[in-house]
């Protein structure tokens, strides 16, 4: 009889922190950061997650940054124990599954997330590039919220429009909460923002959209670093997206986004990197 092998995954870190982006900004979360990404966004501030590492780190005391090292890949039971240690009563509002691109680990997540929910009784929030709808379907039953990064080619160097549209449709069909985050820089093309607004409105105009100005980690900017937009640019772009309409061909209904918010990376403002 063959022995059943416990699922494993390559991780970067497990820790407790304040969410600095998107709809859950300001809330305390347990972060599980998975290793590896198949995108190469120009603005990425987590490029250390792109490749696999021999070890990962897990926080012992929530928020204390007293990490201990573990070998990769990590067994499901070991990860669950780490999260349980973090989950002090009443402290956290949700668990963030992030990366890298966590959906590269969809098979592991399919086994892990039901146990995570049963153990913590916390909502589960997926942070993703939004370009792997097939893998998303594997884990949708276990998610409460999805934060999808929509990739603007002029900023990220990536173009995933078709996958993004399908990804949003699957979230909405499953009645899972979803919002869209757009990283914008000084080089953002307004036509791409119009395209994004129409794409989201075509699926559901109620989906919240967040414009997030890229936040440099160095000052002054190093050569080749993506530069942030001006306040004037951001105001103009927010107006553009809120006034962009999508014409629904079936009913001739004109759809416009209900929410376009501007939120910077607040965790960097308080030195939580």
How many CB atoms lie under 10 A from the CB of residue 153?
A: 14
Q: For residue range 160-195, list pLDDT tens digits in order.
A: 999 999 999 999 999 999 999 999 999 999 999 999
How many CB atoms lie under 10 A from the CB of residue 235?
A: 12
Confidence at residue 4, expressed as pLDDT on a 0 to 100 scale: 67
Domain boundaries, the chain: 8-269
Per the prediction, the chain carries an average pLDDT of 91
Confidence at residue 222, expressed as pLDDT on a 0 to 100 scale: 44
Q: What is the 3-state secondary structure (H, E, C) of the chain?
A: CCCCCCCEECEEEEEEEECCCHHHCCCEEEEEEECCCCCCCCCCCCHHHCCCCCEEEEECCCCCCCEEEEECCEEHHHHHHHHHHHCCCCCCCEEEEECCCHHHHHHHHHHHHHHHHHHHCCCEEEEECCCCHHHHHHHHHHCCEEEEECCCHHHHCCCCHHHHHHHHHHHHHCCCEEEEEEEECCCCCHHHHHHHHHHHHHHCCCCCEEEEECCCCCCCCCCCCCCCCCHHHHHHHHHHHHHCCEEECCCCEEECCCCEEECCCHHHHCCCC
Nearest Cα to 128, choosing from 86, 87, 171?
171
Nearest Cα to 82, choosing from 177, 149, 16?
16
Cα separation, 34 vs 105, in Å, equals: 8
Q: For residue range 66-109, list pLDDT tens digits in order.
A: 999 999 999 999 999 999 999 999 999 999 999 999 999 999 99
Confidence at residue 225, expressed as pLDDT on a 0 to 100 scale: 58
Q: Up-side HSE of residue 98: CA atoms within 13 Å toward CB?
A: 21
- The two beta strands, 8-9 and 145-149, are unpaired
Architecture label for domain 8-269 = Alpha-Beta Barrel (3.20)
Residue with tokens 């979360």: 29
Q: For residue range 210-235, list pLDDT tens digits in order.
A: 999 987 655 544 444 578 899 999 99
Confidence at residue 268, expressed as pLDDT on a 0 to 100 scale: 73
Confidence at residue 216, expressed as pLDDT on a 0 to 100 scale: 65
Q: For residue range 136-151, list pLDDT tens digits in order.
A: 999 999 999 999 999 9
Structure-block tokens of residue 151:
């990739």
Question: Higher pLDDT residue, 264 or 16?
Answer: 16
Give me the phi and psi of 180, to 5 degrees please: -115, 135
């Amino acid at each position: 009889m063959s022995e059943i092998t416990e699922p494993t995954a390559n991780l970067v870190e497990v820790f407790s922190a304040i969410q600095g982006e998107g709809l859950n900004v300001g809330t305390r979360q347990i972060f599980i950061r998975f290793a590896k990404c198949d995108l190469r966004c120009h603005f990425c501030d987590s490029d250390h997650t792109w490749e696999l590492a021999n070890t990962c780190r897990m926080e012992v005391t929530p928020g204390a940054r007293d990490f201990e090292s573990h070998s990769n890949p990590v067994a499901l039971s070991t990860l669950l124990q780490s999260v349980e240690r973090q989950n002090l009563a009443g402290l956290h509002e949700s668990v963030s599954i992030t990366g890298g691109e966590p959906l590269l680990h969809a098979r592991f997540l399919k086994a892990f997330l039901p146990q995570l929910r049963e153990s913590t009784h916390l909502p589960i929030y997926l942070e993703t590039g939004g370009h792997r709808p097939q893998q998303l379907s594997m884990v949708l039953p276990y998610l409460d919220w999805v934060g999808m990064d929509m990739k603007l080619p002029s900023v990220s160097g990536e173009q995933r429009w078709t996958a993004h549209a399908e990804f949003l449709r699957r979230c909405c069909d499953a009645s899972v909460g979803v919002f869209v985050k757009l990283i914008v820089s000084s080089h953002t093309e307004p036509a791409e923002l119009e395209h994004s607004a129409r794409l989201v409105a075509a699926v559901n105009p109620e989906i919240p959209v967040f414009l997030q100005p890229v936040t440099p980690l160095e000052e002054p900017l190093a050569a080749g670093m993506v530069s942030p937009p001006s306040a004037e640019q951001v105001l103009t772009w927010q107006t553009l997206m809120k006034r962009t309409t999508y014409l629904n061909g079936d009913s001739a209904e004109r759809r416009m986004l209900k929410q376009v918010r501007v939120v910077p990376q607040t965790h960097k403002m308080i030195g939580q990197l």
